[in-house]
Amino acid sequence: MSHVLDQNLNYDRPIKLADGVFWVGYNDPHSGLQCNPYLIFDGDEAVLIDGGSRPDFSTVMRKVLQVGVEPRQISHLIYQHYDPDLCGSIPNFENIIGRPDLKLISKQENIAFIRHYSVRSEILCMEAIGRRLVMKSGRALTFHATPYAHLAGSFTSYDTASGILFSSDLFGSVGDPKSWRLFLEIERACAGCAAPKPTPDEICGRAGCACPWTGFAFFHRQIMPCNKAVRYAMDVVRSVGPKMIAPQHGSVLHRPDDIAEAIARIAAMDDVGIDGVPAFAGA
């Protein structure tokens, strides 16, 4: 999908990932943790994935409108876990969408927590709808459970039309906000590097940039609970075989070699969460 870089990347506007798929996130120049809501717009229907926090709502909604979507065209809001950086703006979206048949989709383990955001709309359990959402146009999203990566009810969403996997916290990354870019392309000098830098912001003298692998490792080490959960999740991602990975934090992976190496590196980590605590490591 090299065509994604052919467009003028203005982060103050929505950015197209594929036909009908847009990044509608907020580029925060002061935070190393970027948040990435995504919009799918097909025919006269739209679906929003991990809509974002309450403070980011005005930016996300402005970009939805810039795509050409009227609020009432949004039929479903998908929440891949229940953290406030995804779910905080639910009441705002309900108010502006204003349709009684608006549906929220999540996993059963998340629903009790999502209700605490004062949700008025019906919440559908992904298992109850066959782990699949078919839009009116026929475009289908499939849902794939990735338990404890990082919450019990975590899952990913796959757009079968574009081949994009919306991976939630998986493949998230942190780093210097001044050097953040939406579409990440791993430098050749970084491919296969066995000596990543100790911190996400440290510049590698070999590649002349901050180490992308350290950004991935640092995020997963801090957010995910254990090695086993991450390895299981990587097996799920491999089984889906995405052409692009669009995480809720960090940058989008769109080159096959970068995707393959990121999967392999994350799966090979042996110090994730509790497994990185010396008293528990190897227990």
Contacts of 271 (CB under 8 A, 6+ apart): 221, 227, 281
pLDDT of 203 reads 63
Mean pLDDT calculated for residue range 14-22: 97
Q: Which domains does the chain have, with CATH numbers?
A: 2-276 (3.60.15.10)
pLDDT for 6 = 60
Can you give the pLDDT at residue 259?
Answer: 96
Number of neighbouring beta carbons within 10 Å of residue 68: 11
Dist. CA 223–CA 40, nearest whole Å: 27
Range with the lowest mean pLDDT among 46-60, 79-93, 141-155, 175-189? Answer: 175-189
pLDDT at 189: 72
pLDDT score recorded for residue 27: 81
Per-residue pLDDT, 196: 63
Higher pLDDT, 117 or 215: 117
Task: Give helix 256-268 / helix 212-223 axis angle, nearest 10°.
Answer: 40
Confidence (pLDDT) at 190: 74
pTM for this model (two decimals): 0.92
Q: Which residue has the higher pLDDT, 27 or 97?
A: 97
Residue 68 has pLDDT above 80, yes or no: yes
Residue 155 binned pLDDT confidence (cut-offs 50, 70, 90): very high
Handedness of CA 264, 268, 273, 276 (dihedral sign): negative
Instruction: Give residue 209's pLDDT.
Output: 65
Using pLDDT thresholds of 50, 70 and 90, give the confidence band for residue 175: confident
Query: Would you say the C-alpha torsion 160, 162, 168, 170 has a positive or negative sign?
Result: positive
Instruction: Give the residue-averaged pLDDT of 167-194.
Output: 82
The whole-number average pLDDT for the span 54-80 is 97
pLDDT at 267: 96
Model confidence band, residue 132 (pLDDT cutoffs 50, 70, 90): very high
CA distances from 176 to 67, 82, 157, 192 (A): 28, 26, 28, 22
pLDDT, average across residues 152-178 = 93
Q: What is the pLDDT of residue 2?
A: 47
Spatial neighbors of 56 by CB under 8 A, at least 6 apart, are 25, 26, 35, 37, 89
Query: Does the pLDDT value for residue 48 go beyond 60?
Result: yes
- The C-alpha angle with vertex 77 and arms to 12 and 255, in degrees rounded to 5, equals 55
* pLDDT higher than threshold 80 for residue 164: yes
Mean pLDDT of 87-112: 97
- At residue 205, the pLDDT reads 56
* Average pLDDT over the chain, rounded to an integer: 90
Mean pLDDT confidence for 257-279 = 92
Q: Are 252 and 245 in contact (CB under 8 A)?
A: yes
pLDDT at res. 1: 47
| Per-residue pLDDT at 231 | 98
